[in-house]
Structure 1
Amino acid sequence: MPRPRFLNPSDRGLSQLGQEILPVLYRHRLLTADQLTQLLRPAATSTRYIRRQLEMLHDRGLVDASVRRTSRAGELLWYTTPLGCEVVENGGELAPRAYRMTEDAAASQLQEHTLAVNELGGAFVQHARRLGDECGPLDWDPEVAHRLRDGDSRLGDEAFLVPDAVLHYIHTSTADDTQQQRMRMLLTFFCEIDRATMSIARLAAKLHAYARYSRYIPQPAPGRGRPKAASGYRREAWRARYPAFPRILLVLDGASTAQLARRQDDLRALAAADTRLHSAPDLRAGVTTLDQLRRHGPLAPIITPVLGDPEPTDALLRPSPATSAA
């Protein structure tokens, strides 16, 4: 018997929660029932209701699951099927993505990295709720490509920068002690997860690429000539996408606390020796651990600046007075 085909997520047969689950799975590729519960029903005391909805979506051919490689209990990791992707894309609420999770990819060794990226996003969502800030289940986007140079890629000179995730967060603060004037700060983060599987040199090279992107100015296509600076074309590429250059958040995981502390120190040492980082005035980068982010949230003093004073700060990564005066 052929499976039913839906034109959009609100077609008859999908519950409200089912309609919420589909775009979250589509955007974030691979999630556990526990992660979905924390994102969509944080007040729930168990994952039972979410799992029931996932089973209903599975019966309709919209989602499928793979067994987590590191789980002895056979924990399932859920993703949208091609039909589920079609339903989300026809709904028109999310921009279609070229990448789609497949059965082979869902069972691959990339499981833990994908789940860690979503743990990072979930930590922002959880603490935004607690603080009265804004960050929802769809407010981070994995692997968004940013062009780094014109023309084709050359060996050792990548043409694109692809963060593990681009995350959007709205922080609300009070301007004074009267609590009457409230300010909203729209923040964007380039997020990188390091599960202690890559060399520190490679992680430092990612920082170097962010510095390159902060200064990259697209050139006109061959034959069109070079436009005047006054035309507005000769501006950094990031200004067409972001109101300010995104803060860079490097999140460490996958090793002991002592090992992660050494990786952090080694990363700071390599960054201090990179002259491109020091000549990128828009660059603000910090490093923390996934455990700290989950436990304390992004606005606790858990983030160590990659450059300069190692005094822990929060995800706002405000320049220190000494740095500002320099």
Structure 2
Amino acid sequence: MLPPDLALLRPSVRIEQTRRRLARLRGEGLVERIALPHAGRLRVRFPTPYGAQLASEWPELRRRRPRGTVSDPTAARLKVGHTLAVTETTLLFLEDARRHGELCRPLDWIPEIHHPIGGREAVIPDALMYYQRGPADGERGSMLRAFVEVDRAPWAPNVSPRSCLRTSASSATCPRSRGAACQPSRSRRSSWRTGAGHYPLFPRLLFVLDGTGPAGVENRIDALRATARALARSFLHEIPVLAASLADLLQHGPSAPVWHPVHDRDQRVHWTQSRHP
């Protein structure tokens, strides 16, 4: 789903040119649009079933189609708030990387990858992000991977971010194959393999909270912290689990020290730190 502020997608391209291209795609039946509620004439675009099928055949997007692709106006209206929050988070990381001479491109943000871990369980974050540290040209820095979960509404005790945290911790500390018993891993961040692929290190977890004020954000971080207390201590020591409000990301940028470790709400850190102190 494309946001109203199209200039952030390709800053070097004039907005009128982008709009003409989108109008052409709509004329060819590849994308459709809906008006945002209570937002005047602002519109968002989303791929039609034909557009999604065509895009999935591109070499860059093969085997990457999200499980919950929006393909009709009714579904788009139901999911527009959350989808735009995810898209806005994406653009913030892309713009931040560009500003700091680091590498995070649109195809480095992969939405809703299904990571089966056995026992009918799966890790399905809103996005898997690849982020290359160091200068975008010349010598490369370290490659960071993160599961990003965006939440913009109050949630019940066993769903959304808390559920994602528990499932991720279970899969990281107890890797297992289908039908096998859970056995502790000797090296919890050495590698992680699921049906969706292999990761040299288990990705860090980033929770982006939206749709509420500062007090609501603090309450959600407290809820994450309560969940974290039941997890293996080694998981929180080896794998950064951080939460920040979307408002802070918009004001300061994702690379600023605006992220709260779930084990210490009073501390603020950079999301790129290697582990919890």
Q: Which amino acid aligns with 1:64?
A: E
Aligned-pair distance for 1:106? Answer: 4.0
Equivalent residues of 1:211, 1:283 under 8 A apart? no
Within a 5 Å distance, the mapping from 1:243-262 to structure 2 comes to 243-262=200-219
Counterpart of 2:28 in structure 1 is 60
Query: Quick check: 122-131 or 203-212, which moved more?
Result: 203-212
Aligned-pair distance for 1:57? Answer: 1.1
Aligned-pair distance for 1:182? Answer: 5.8
Taking the aligned partners of 1:86 and 1:319, their CA distance within structure 2 comes to 40
Aligned-pair distance for 1:221? Answer: 6.3
Equivalent residues of 1:192, 1:250 under 8 A apart? yes
Are 2:24 and 1:37 equivalent residues in the alignment?
Answer: no
Are 2:168 and 1:210 equivalent residues in the alignment?
Answer: yes
Taking the aligned partners of 1:206 and 1:220, their CA distance within structure 2 comes to 20
**Structure 1 residue ranges (4+ consecutive) displaced by more than 6 angstroms after TM superposition:** none
Counterpart of 2:188 in structure 1 is none
Aligned-pair distance for 1:83? Answer: 2.6
Task: Tell me: CA distance 1:296–1:221, structure 2 relative to 1, closer, same or farther (3 Å).
Answer: same
Are 2:34 and 1:76 equivalent residues in the alignment?
Answer: no
Equivalent residues of 2:35, 2:44 under 8 A apart? yes
Query: Quick check: 76-85 or 111-120, which moved more?
Result: 76-85
1:141-186 deviations in Å (ceiling 9; x for gaps)? 1111111224xx3xxxxx111101111111117xxxxxxx966010
Aligned-pair distance for 1:295? Answer: 2.5
1:90-111 deviations in Å (ceiling 9; x for gaps)? 3322114264422145433211
Q: Which amino acid aligns with 1:165?
A: A
Equivalent residues of 1:33, 1:51 under 8 A apart? no
1:16-52 deviations in Å (ceiling 9; x for gaps)? xxxxxxxxxxxxxx11241x32022x145x7332222
Taking the aligned partners of 1:294 and 1:87, their CA distance within structure 2 comes to 33
Taking the aligned partners of 1:303 and 1:98, their CA distance within structure 2 comes to 27
Within a 5 Å distance, the mapping from 1:99-138 to structure 2 comes to 99=67, 100-138=69-107
Task: Tell me: CA distance 1:91–1:236, structure 2 relative to 1, closer, same or farther (3 Å).
Answer: closer
Within a 5 Å distance, the mapping from 1:166-205 to structure 2 comes to 166-172=128-134, 184-199=141-156, 202=159, 203-205=161-163
Match of 2:273, SS state, is coil
Taking the aligned partners of 2:246 and 2:265, their CA distance within structure 1 comes to 22
Are 2:208 and 1:237 equivalent residues in the alignment?
Answer: no
TM-score (norm 1): 0.71
Question: Which of 252, 255, 260 is residue 304 of structure 1 equivalent to?
Answer: 260
Q: How many residues align?
A: 261
Counterpart of 1:48 in structure 2 is 16
Question: Unaligned stretches of 5+ in structure 2?
Answer: 186-190
Equivalent residues of 1:165, 1:191 under 8 A apart? yes
Task: Tell me: CA distance 1:109–1:291, structure 2 relative to 1, closer, same or farther (3 Å).
Answer: same
Question: Unaligned stretches of 5+ in structure 1?
Answer: 1-29, 154-158, 174-180, 223-228, 230-234
Task: Tell me: CA distance 1:71–1:286, structure 2 relative to 1, closer, same or farther (3 Å).
Answer: same
Q: CA RMSD in A?
A: 2.7
TM-score (norm 2): 0.83
Task: Tell me: CA distance 1:61–1:307, structure 2 relative to 1, closer, same or farther (3 Å).
Answer: same
Aligned-pair distance for 1:139? Answer: 1.5
Task: Tell me: CA distance 1:205–1:98, structure 2 relative to 1, closer, same or farther (3 Å).
Answer: closer
Equivalent residues of 1:148, 1:212 under 8 A apart? no
Question: Which of 89, 92, 95 is residue 62 of structure 2 equivalent to?
Answer: 95
Of the two, which has the highest radius of gyration?
1
Match of 2:62, SS state, is coil
Counterpart of 1:5 in structure 2 is none
